[in-house]
Amino acid sequence: MKIGFIGLGTMGRHMASNLMKAGHELVVHDVRREAVGPHLQAGAVWAETPRAVAEATEVVFTSLPGPPEVEAVALGEQGLLAGLAAGKVYFDLTTNAPAVVRRIHQVLKAHGIHMLDAPVSGGPRGAELRKLALWVGGDEGVFNGYKPVLDAIGDQPYYVGPIGAGSIAKLVHNCAGYIIQTALAEVFTLGVKAGLDPLALWKALRQGAAGRRRTFDRLADQFLPGRFEPASFALRLAHKDITLATSLGREHKVPMRLANITLEEMTEALNRGWGERDSRVSMLLQEERAGVEIRVPEAAIHRLLGEEP
């Protein structure tokens, strides 16, 4: 299939590569021409505008920083709307605001164009290995028709419901994860300051009822070793996700106390100039408040993980 892909950044570059590995022809565009260099070398074709991408392909995917960029690419003067013919399909892989998704969907629908929101979960490593969940909202028939293409991007494409449903599922998922992150920072500083060795505490927690569900394993990636570069997922992007989630809560008059506390933590970390560091860097604020520094050598973490069958 001839596929358009716009936005070849942290996530998009891997998803586009996997589409090419699956045998699809790609027409690509990014605001940074240098971002698509490896794909052009692998046989992709460059297009100067989103409109040109849409005109040259059967289906278009976007993977962009957030709602403003999606709206500009979809509806701008040289955007997808100007190039997509009736009957063509557009999947937005961005973590987006449901209201923006629905607004763009309505505009495109009036021109006979199908739009589906399909945000992904799994991070850059998951994108590279094709270990991604795709939560899709929109026309179920279109989803079923293009599922083989989605299978080339991730191993778990899942139809959630009507347009906007995928974005809602993504915001709920990410918001829950960062609330848990905030809580883990709080209780872990408590345990260490009360006298426990952080490695021993981590091992103990992983053996408990919640720990057996591997709630605590993510602590090993950044928090325990105190290593927040390079970012697995940048703080500025996580802040955007939680901002969208709390905005959705206000829109539907849903109190979100923990989510707002988490957003405050991330905002403070962002104001420290940590936006490009890993999103878990905000957990350092709790260490600072508690007056305790938690550092476990990475070799010790690997040895502990290696003890498990």
Q: Which residues are catalytic?
A: 170
The C-alpha atoms of residue 211 and residue 24 are separated, in whole angstroms, by 42
Strand partners, 106: none
* Long-range contacts of 38-42, Cβ-Cβ distance < 8 Å, separation of 24 or more: 38/13, 39/8, 39/13, 42/17
* Residue 273 burial class via C-beta count within 10 angstroms: exposed 0-12, middle 13-18, buried 19 and up: exposed
* Residue 262 burial class via C-beta count within 10 angstroms: exposed 0-12, middle 13-18, buried 19 and up: buried
How would DSSP label each residue in 9-67? Answer: STTHHHHHHHHHHTT-EEEEE-SSGGGGHHHHHTT-EE-SSHHHHHHH-SEEEE--SSH
Put residue 37 in one of left, alpha, beta given phi > 0 → left and psi -120 to 50 → alpha.
alpha
Q: What token pair was written down for 52?
A: 């040109």
Backbone angles phi, psi at 134, to 5 degrees: -120, 120
